[in-house]
């Protein structure tokens, strides 16, 4: 699967070797030996590998031609900055970022993560039976990781089953921080990039300017429902259809639950939708634990100001026996992201190089 090949131009830089994986050339540090390809996402190819120095298995993600698309470059930079600070058992660890050979002209970035067996999306769509304890434990870990993130003022903003990595022993870790941002930082206005539609909170779909941690809670609710039902709860075909599906399940909203919508036209659109009583979650998930239904209902409230918080969710009776507040300290300090989305390639490149130096301080003296 992974084939050792000669370096391009037959010039072999010190400390690197070359492998072809799914017709993609990997230029990686010699301490890593690829095993096999394990995935291909929107941004690059991922392969499992072994770190010969530690005998540890890792996942190496190659993001090729990263500066071809400034949005992709910014996503990667954001992930690099955030993951360097995050230390939590329910958040994927970024173990290494390989130093490129040429500082001023590198085009590819290689990120090294801890290796997980699969993701929640694969599990949900598989025939693997999931007991109430499975559902509970997955949800607990997701909420615990999210509590840590929110305590550091980080919004993930793209939670979905595919971004939740899982091991055979049911350990769960949140990954993909390309759309994450810090919450409530004045003047840090971020253009809304492409966000996965089925898990978007109503306040995002309705173009509300002020949103907070509650958008992640909505996504968790959608994921929780998907674990229970083994299929997406709101599979909208586009954003307006997404809103219609949400209303068709939750029912038409009372005026008092629409006050959070600061855009008058968006509010009028919601009111113009046909009246419906909705469907109770116990009808959708008749086999589910009644406590799970209660928690789900509190997570999927249309009005974000009334939606349950992560901490309240951890304290919910459904989580009894799992959540111990003494074992979940908050992040040490709030993390700030000084990223300007208007940066051009030279600045992004420089910032990336500086992030890499945190993993390779020995390279700081090199004039590459």
Binding segment for another protein (CB under 8 A), chosen from 40-48, 52-60, 174-182, 290-298, is: 40-48
Angle between helices 290-299 and 214-229 (to 10 degrees): 140
Among 147, 150, 156, 160, binds another protein (CB under 8 A): 160
Of 60-68, 80-88, 199-207, 296-304, the window that binds another protein (rule: CB under 8 A) is: 199-207
Smallest separation (angstroms) from another protein to the CB of 317: 31
Could you tell me whether strands 32-40 and 181-182 are parallel, antiparallel, or unpaired per DSSP bridges?
A: unpaired
CB hemisphere CA count around 336 (13 angstroms): 7
Binders of another protein among residues 62 to 81 (CB under 8 A) are: none
Q: Among 9, 10, 11, 42, which residue sits at the site for another protein (rule: CB under 8 A)?
A: 42
- Round to whole Å and give the CA distance between 363 and 368: 9
Residue selected from 12, 40, 107, 306 as contacting another protein according to rule CB under 8 A: 40
Q: What is the DSSP string of 328-341?
A: -PPPSS-------T
Q: Which of 207, 320, 347, 368 binds another protein (CB under 8 A)?
A: 207
Q: Is 271 in the site for another protein (CB under 8 A)?
A: no
Render 175-211 in DSSP notation, one character per residue.
---TT-EESS-TT---------GGG--HHHHTT-S--
User: Looking at 31, 85, 103, 197, which residue binds another protein (CB under 8 A)?
Assistant: 197
CB burial string 283-302: b at 16+ within 10 A, e below: eebeebeeebbbbbebbbbb
Rounded CA gap, 219 and 197, in Å? Answer: 10
36 touches another protein by CB under 8 A: no
Q: Is 12 annotated as a binding residue?
A: no
Question: What is the CA angle 6-11-14, rounded to 5?
Answer: 95
Q: Does 195 bind another protein (CB under 8 A)?
A: yes
Q: Which is nearer to another protein, 103 or 244 (CB)?
A: 244
Burial of 257 (0-12, 13-18, 19+ CB in 10 A): middle
Question: Which residue's CB is nearer to another protein, number 197 or number 360?
Answer: 197
Residue ranges of the binding site for ATP: 62
Binding annotation: 62
Which residues make up the interface to another protein (CB under 8 A)?
A: 22, 39-42, 125, 160, 162, 192, 194-199, 206-207, 232, 235, 237-241, 244, 248, 263, 265-266, 268-269, 272-274
């Amino acid at each position: 699967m992974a084939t050792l090949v000669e370096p391009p131009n037959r010039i072999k830089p010190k400390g690197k070797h070359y492998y072809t994986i799914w017709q993609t050339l990997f230029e990686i540090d010699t301490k890593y030996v690829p095993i096999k390809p394990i995935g291909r996402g929107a941004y690059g190819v991922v392969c499992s590998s072994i770190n010969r120095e530690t005998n540890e298995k890792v996942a190496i993600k190659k993001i090729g031609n990263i500066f071809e698309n400034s949005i992709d470059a910014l996503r990667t930079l954001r992930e690099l900055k955030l993951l360097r600070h995050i230390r939590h058992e329910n958040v994927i660890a970024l173990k290494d970022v390989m130093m490129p050979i040429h500082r001023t002209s590198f085009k590819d970035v290689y990120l090294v993560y801890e290796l997980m067996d699969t993701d929640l999306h694969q599990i949900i769509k598989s025939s693997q039976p999931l007991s109430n304890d499975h559902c509970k434990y997955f949800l607990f870990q997701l909420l615990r990781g999210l509590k840590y993130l929110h305590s550091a003022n980080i919004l993930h903003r793209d939670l979905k089953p595919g971004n939740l990595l899982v091991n055979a022993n049911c350990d769960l870790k949140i990954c993909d921080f390309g759309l994450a941002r810090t919450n409530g930082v004045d003047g840090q206005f971020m253009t809304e990039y492409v966000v996965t539609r089925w898990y978007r909170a109503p306040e995002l779909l309705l173009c509300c300017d002020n949103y907070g941690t509650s958008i992640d809670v909505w996504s968790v609710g959608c994921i929780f429902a998907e674990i229970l039902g083994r299929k997406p709860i709101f599979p909208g075909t586009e954003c307006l259809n997404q809103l219609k599906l949400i209303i068709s399940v939750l029912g038409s909203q009372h005026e008092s639950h629409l006050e959070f919508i600061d855009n008058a036209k968006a509010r009028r659109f919601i009111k113009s939708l046909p009246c419906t009583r909705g469907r109770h979650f116990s009808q959708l998930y008749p086999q589910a634990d009644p406590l799970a239904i209660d928690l789900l209902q509190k997570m999927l409230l249309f009005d974000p100001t009334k939606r349950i918080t992560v901490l309240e969710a951890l304290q919910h009776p459904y989580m009894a026996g799992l959540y111990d507040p003494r074992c979940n300290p908050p992040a040490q300090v709030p993390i700030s992201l000084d990223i300007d989305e208007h940066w051009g390639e030279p600045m992004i490149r420089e910032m990336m190089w500086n992030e890499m130096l945190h993993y390779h301080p020995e390279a700081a003296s090199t004039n590459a």
